[in-house]
């Protein structure tokens, strides 16, 4: 069943191998979430042990939740408090992303057909977040979605379909409001 799950096929979650991986990751995340904020080295080590890839300079604030650790986070990305990543299928977050508080990345889904759903069958589709994406507070990204580089998604949006690079999107369901252009440029003062 675990192989079926990882291939995005229908599977039933009652599987000893999947349960063992879930338990391993949950133990690590319990330790991560209980660790003092200033224990940065310990927190970083726990995160790297729990997830597939954690780039340099990644900051993840507790509490942080995922299921199986099938998460990759690119260098310089910031994940704020309360992120929920249901990683039945892989979740790839690019470099230099800003993930606001209470964002949900949800790869798990279920058949519309009530019979198989009642019997516990489910499947998942991967989520890909490109580099330099900003997801506002409470954004929900649904299974199978890809969000393009430099895109900004407004707080509370529910992203049900792919979003292209370089746009501002918001709403339920999320829709592209406009392209990011020269009027968005900000003069950054020297340090």
| CA separation for the pair 144, 160 (Å, rounded) | 8
Instruction: Provide the pLDDT for residue 115.
Output: 95
Q: 120-170, pLDDT tens digit by residue?
A: 899 999 999 999 999 999 999 999 999 999 999 999 999 999 999 999 999
Whether residue 110 lies in the annotated active site: yes
Cβ 149 vs Cβ 132: under 8 Å: yes
CATH of domain 2-179: 2.160.10.10
Q: Which is more confidently placed, 7 or 70?
A: 70
Shortest CA distance to 117 belongs to which of 12, 5, 14?
Answer: 12
Token pair for residue 48?
């790297």
Cβ 150 vs Cβ 132: under 8 Å: yes
| CA separation for the pair 89, 68 (Å, rounded) | 9
Q: How confident is the model at residue 17 (pLDDT cuts 50, 70, 90)?
A: confident
Decide: pTM greater than 0.85: yes
31, 35, 42, 59, 62 from 38: Cα distances, Å: 14, 8, 9, 12, 12
Domains of the chain, by residue range, sit at: 2-179
Tell me which of 45, 110, 116, 131 is the catalytic residue.
110
Q: String of b and e for 44-64 (b: at least 16 CB within 10 Å)?
A: bbbbeebbeebeeebebbbeb
* Cβ-based neighbour number of residue 136 at 10 Å: 18
Work out the mean pLDDT of the chain and round it to a whole number.
95
């Amino acid at each position: 069943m675990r192989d079926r799950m990882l291939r995005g096929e229908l599977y039933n979650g009652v599987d000893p191998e999947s349960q063992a991986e879930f338990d391993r990751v949950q133990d690590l995340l319990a330790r991560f979430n209980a660790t003092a904020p200033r224990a940065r080295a310990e927190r970083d080590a726990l995160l790297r042990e729990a997830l597939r890839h954690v780039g340099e300079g990644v900051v993840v604030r507790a509490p942080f939740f995922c299921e199986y650790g099938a998460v990759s986070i690119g260098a310089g990305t910031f994940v704020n408090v309360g992120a929920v990543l249901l990683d039945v299928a892989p979740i790839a977050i690019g470099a230099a992303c800003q993930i606001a508080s209470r964002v949900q990345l949800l790869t798990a889904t279920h058949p519309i057909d009530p019979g198989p759903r009642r019997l516990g069958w489910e499947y998942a589709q991967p989520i890909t977040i490109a580099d330099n994406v900003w997801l506002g507070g409470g954004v929900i990204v649904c299974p199978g979605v890809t969000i393009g580089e430099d895109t900004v998604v407004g707080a509370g949006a529910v992203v049900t379909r792919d979003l292209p690079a370089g746009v501002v999107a918001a709403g339920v369901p999320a829709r592209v409001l406009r392209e990011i252009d020269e009027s968005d440029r900000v003069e950054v003062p020297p340090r």
